[in-house]
Amino acid sequence: MKHRILLTIATVVAASTMIFGTVMAAKPPVPSPLDLVWAAISNLQTAVTGIQNTIAGFWDDSTNTLTASKLSYSPARTHVYTLSPFDFGPTNSEVKFNRFDGGEGLSVAADTPNDFGRMIAPVHLPDGAEITDFAVRFRDNSTSDFVVHLNWTQWVGGSEASLADVSTEGFSGEQWANDDTISHPFPEAPYIDNGEFAYEVVAQWGDPDGNNLQLLGVIITYTISEAE
């Protein structure tokens, strides 16, 4: 009887052990903190590999450097290009002009022959820039007027035309006037192309009137979507 009871107890213990072991085997193991760290590192490596694959052709694994064919801005960035009276020079020896400090501007002497009062300044904008506004600051205390042009000149053939124009006609005193209707030679691609064109600002005094009619400055606003 004693042996039978012990056998029965042993049988129950063995069965209980088998059931407990089965339950423990079915329960997923709890990861240790170290396991979690390694998993995070693995996920990060996978993400970096995905980024490298996205920019395939630019990533150098041997040096861990990224080389990009271009850097683009989204949205495009707005910049300004300025000209002061001291950026302008005469187009011929007939022009008699003055440039003043202390808030004074550029003027053409009244004894300059009519239609010879022409001053010019080069414009250097980055390739791909799109001009959005052409603004001129002037002082007009005269019955005469002058016109300021933003021009392009084609390298081959010498064709020349205006991108934008500002006139002092109808203004008096110290004023800003602007033209934001830019007329590009290729309207379907209205961008600066330094390989095809040169750009300049031309101020034309049709009837010079000395210090009564002064050019004070020019601001060209443009956008650029790609870094040089």
pLDDT band of 149, cuts 50, 70, 90: very high
As a three-state string, the secondary structure of the chain is: CHHHHHHHHHHHHHHHHHHHHHHHHHCCCCCCHHHHHHHHHHHHHHHHHHHHHHCCCCEECCCCEECCCCCEEEEEEEEEEEECHHHCEECCCCCCEEECCCCCCEEECCCCCCCCEEEEEEECCCCCCEEEEEEEEEEECCCCCEEEEEEEEECCCCCEEEEEEEECCCCCEEEEEEECCCCCCCCCCCCCCCCCEEEEEEEEECCCCHHHEEEEEEEEEEEEEECC
Q: In what order do the strands lie in the sheet with 197-205?
A: 89-90, 117-123, 197-205, 146-154, 160-167
Structure confidence by residue, pLDDT tens digits, 175-212: 999 999 998 877 766 789 999 899 999 999 888 888 88
Q: What is the pTM of this model?
A: 0.68
pLDDT band of 141, cuts 50, 70, 90: very high
Structure confidence by residue, pLDDT tens digits, 3-57: 443 334 344 444 444 444 444 445 556 777 777 767 777 766 665 554 444 444 4
Enter the tokens of residue 19: 């059931």
Q: Specify the domain boundaries for CATH 2.60.120.260 within the chain.
A: 72-226
> How many percent of the chain have pLDDT more than 90?
35
Within 10 A of 188 (CB to CB), how many other CB atoms are there?
Answer: 5
Domain at 72-226: CATH code: 2.60.120.260
Q: Mean pLDDT score of the chain, rounded to an integer?
A: 78
